[in-house]
Amino acid sequence: MRIAIIGAGFSGSVLAIELARSAGPGVDILLVGEADSYGRGLAYGQARPEHLLNVRARDLGATADHPGEFADWLNLTERARASFLPRLVYGEYLYSRLQAAAQLSLAALQRIEQEAVALEREGPGFRMHLADGRGFACDAAVLAVGALPPQRLAGIGPRLAVHPSYLGWPWHEGAIDRVHPDARVLVVGTGLTMVDVVATLQRRGHRGGVVALSRHGLLPQAHRELPSAPVALPPHVLQALQRHDLRGLVRALRTLAPVVPDWRSLVDALRPHTQAFWRGLPPAARARFLRHLRPYWEVLRHRLAPAAAAQLEDWCARGRLQVRAGRLVRARRGEDGIEALIRGRGDAHLRSERYDVLIRATGFDTDIERTTHPLIAHLRDAGLLRADPLGLGVQATSEFEALDRRGAPVRGLYCLGPLLRAQLWEITAVPELRVAARRLAQRLLAGEARLRGAPAAAPPRHANLP
């Protein structure tokens, strides 16, 4: 059996580790990704020293049966295990686990350092096409591409879209390092990506004013230095979860939040139930959640490391950062800078403002209908992927097998990671991803994607791991 994993970031690497640990001789695991992405991906490969993890070190092990492995790998003390470390360190840990899996596996774990640009049916399996023009056959393929490339912000004029003062992705080829220290900066987005942008600007000694803009103007909440004691959900909350009653759940949580010692424990107690709750929500309720509740859930669920929150608070207190609620209606490149039209939340009139740099920091994208990702766009246009109508990725079976345009399973084509938000919602953080990776590895090795037909042609020659 030959299994191709497209994407060498966290999702793809952890799936490769799980397969390598359990597969026997005769299984080829081909991990396809660009050379500098192995084990790191965008989240950890493009991180800076000032970017911190938003999960405690003790909970970040790569595999579901050893959640404390990251802290063990660093030989942390008990106190340090509850700390929030730099994301760069975590990237090194993931790469080391991938190397170790390749050394110990009975299967052949091989990396193919090229971008995958197309995937086509070939007999009972697939043929993968790479950016360098080569290709290879495989029996099963897993789309573990992570978040899709950021789309251009709505309202961006054509001149500005191609001008260096518009940073569609601030970490692309050091774009943020070219921002002048005195530049007046508009950041669209007030979530975790904005926090990283501000941290990097602060580290570089930025002196100009920074405005962060989002529809609600909400900032991610902070973790406590030490974790709070867990709480048990009362019966009326559990009943709302089991009945998939969104309104009832919100009402129950509103009455419960003021009486628990720490609201963070309440949000964390919901986490084991979130995927099942989301799967049972009807489409109309999902749409209501996304329209009205998503921003509030995001800032409570995806929290900041205490040190990052303190830096953000300091910049706001000193007037270096202004967080506003509103919408960017139009931005164009003028003769002496960026001319932005902004409607403040609740305002009847637009305001014209001038900036030197505009940074998109709206988080990751999973809308496959509008994506420019070459492989995902190819599969969509070929009818091998079916888009979620709410823009949350792809539609898939409960076993992560992709559905085609007509809604039928595409045998042997699987998804893992953020593209599964339509099915699971909570599938972007380490604890959920490592459980899903193990489940998919078991499915693949159980013979559901078993070899059918003649032996596949040899893949292109690339360096084996390590």
Average the pLDDT over 300-320 and give the result: 95
- Judged on CB neighbours under 10 Å (0-12, 13-18, 19+), 232 is exposed
Q: Is the pLDDT of residue 451 over 50?
A: no
Strands (E), 133-256: 135-138, 140-143, 166-167, 185-188, 210-214
Tens digits of residue pLDDT in 147-187: 898 888 999 999 999 999 999 999 888 899 999 999 999 99
Q: What is the per-residue pLDDT for 34?
A: 86
Q: Is the pLDDT of residue 460 over 60?
A: no
Average the pLDDT over 390-405 and give the result: 96
pLDDT band at 452 (very low <50, low <70, confident <90, very high): very low
pLDDT band at 436 (very low <50, low <70, confident <90, very high): very high
Average the pLDDT over 299-313 and give the result: 96
Strand 116-122, strand 140-143: pairing:
unpaired
Q: Is the pLDDT of residue 456 over 70?
A: no
Mean pLDDT of the chain: 92
Q: What is the per-residue pLDDT for 448?
A: 39
Taking the domain 2-149+365-448, which CATH number applies?
3.50.50.60
How far lies 322's CA from each of 179, 208, 452, in Å?
18, 12, 59
Residues 394, 395, 397, 401: is their CA dihedral positive or negative? negative
Q: φ, ψ for residue 335 (rounded to 5)?
A: -70, -30
Q: Is the pLDDT of residue 56 over 80?
A: yes
Q: What is the per-residue pLDDT for 289?
A: 97
Q: What is the per-residue pLDDT for 457?
A: 43
Please determine whether the domains at 2-149+365-448 and 158-221+304-360 fall in the same fold group of CATH.
Answer: yes
Half-sphere exposure of 352 (CA within 13 A, CB side): 4
Tens digits of residue pLDDT in 96-152: 999 999 888 888 999 999 999 999 999 999 999 999 999 999 999 999 999 898 888
**What kind and span of H or E run contains 413?**
strand 409-415
Q: What is the per-residue pLDDT for 290?
A: 96
Lowest model confidence (mean pLDDT) among 39-43, 282-286, 388-392 = 39-43
Q: Which SS3 state, helix, strand or coil, does residue 415 take? A: strand
Tens digits of residue pLDDT in 65-81: 999 999 999 999 999 99
Q: φ, ψ for residue 387 (rounded to 5)?
A: -75, 145
pLDDT band at 466 (very low <50, low <70, confident <90, very high): very low
Domain 158-221+304-360 of CATH type 3.50.50.60? yes
First vs last C-alpha separation in the chain: 21
How do the domains of the chain map onto residue ranges? 2-149+365-448, 158-221+304-360, 235-301
Tens digits of residue pLDDT in 348-389: 999 999 999 999 999 788 999 999 999 999 999 999 999 999
Which residue in 1, 299, 289, 15 sits closest to 146, CA to CA? 15
Quote the pTM value.
0.92
Q: What is the per-residue pLDDT for 155?
A: 93
